[in-house]
């Protein structure tokens, strides 16, 4: 079954930004089911990528793919393309959340790979360039440093970052819970991520010397 699934992934044709924009418009504005199916099919490689990061054996890997596919569908149904947030970033958290929930329900203990945090930090600040610190860091130590760095954030920034990236909550949910605007949440999220990147870069540089 895995071989068949990989063959299907190999046949996926990636969308150009303009093609994807037109598909989102067709789906969200005209309720075009064909556009919806095309978008979901084109993002299946993202599901497989997230599943492989959790380093499970083939039978569990296929179960994770199924769970992640449900998360992908949920993300497509809730995504607002007019907000300017990349769908891959929006969907990744829902896909991963589904997979981790499945493993938890199955009684399997899984440590979230530090690489997931690397992606989170990079994606949250698209203007930032990768640093040598991230490229050379030992993943286990990096994860410990992330947790330590989180405790150093100002309280509101820490709350927002943890709620969105660890609690898998949508920015709107966090804004409603704190009775503030989504714009304010985005500002705190951006500031928190930039602080984390700065702290982690310094910590990793210290390890190199």
Quote the pLDDT of residue 206: 59
pLDDT per residue as tens digits for the range 101-112 = 888 787 775 555
User: Hey, how many other C-beta atoms are within 10 angstroms of the C-beta on 71?
Assistant: 22
Give every residue of the chain whose pLDDT is below 50, as ranges. Answer: 114, 123-140
Quote the pLDDT of residue 131: 38
Interatomic CA distance for residues 166 and 140, integer angstroms: 17
- pTM here is 0.56
The DSSP-derived string for 71-127 is: HHHHHHHH--GGG---HHHHHHHHHHHHHHHHHHHTT---PPPHHHHHHHHHHH-TT
Residue that is written with structure tokens 């989180």 in the block: 150
Report the length, in residues, of the chain.
Answer: 209
Quote the pLDDT of residue 150: 82
Quote the pLDDT of residue 140: 46
Take residue 108 and report the two structure tokens written for it.
């399997």
> Cβ distance 189 to 171 under 8 Å?
yes
Take residue 187 and report the two structure tokens written for it.
């500002």
Quote the pLDDT of residue 83: 83
Which residues are CB-neighbours of 136 under 8 A, at least 6 positions away?
204, 208
Domains defined along the chain, listed by start:
1-110 (1.20.120.1810), 111-209 (1.20.140.160)
């Amino acid at each position: 079954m895995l071989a068949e699934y990989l063959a299907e992934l190999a046949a996926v044709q990636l969308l150009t930004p303009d093609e994807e924009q037109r598909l989102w418009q067709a789906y969200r504005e005209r309720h075009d089911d064909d556009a919806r199916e095309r978008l979901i099919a084109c993002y299946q490689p993202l599901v497989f990528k997230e599943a492989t990061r959790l380093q499970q054996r083939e039978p569990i890997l296929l179960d994770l793919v199924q769970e992640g596919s449900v998360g992908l569908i949920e993300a497509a149904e809730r995504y607002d393309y007019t907000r300017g947030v990349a769908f891959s970033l929006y969907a990744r958290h829902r896909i991963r959340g589904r997979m981790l929930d499945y493993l938890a329900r199955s009684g399997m203990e899984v440590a979230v790979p530090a690489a997931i945090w690397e992606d989170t930090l990079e994606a949250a600040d698209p203007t930032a360039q990768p640093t040598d610190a991230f490229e050379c860091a030992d993943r286990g130590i990096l994860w410990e440093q992330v947790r330590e760095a989180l405790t150093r954030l100002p309280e509101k920034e820490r709350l927002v970052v943890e709620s969105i990236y660890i609690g898998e909550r949508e920015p709107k949910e966090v804004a409603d819970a704190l009775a503030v605007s989504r714009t304010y949440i985005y500002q705190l999220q951006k500031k928190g991520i930039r602080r984390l990147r700065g702290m982690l870069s310094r910590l990793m540089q210290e390890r190199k010397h």
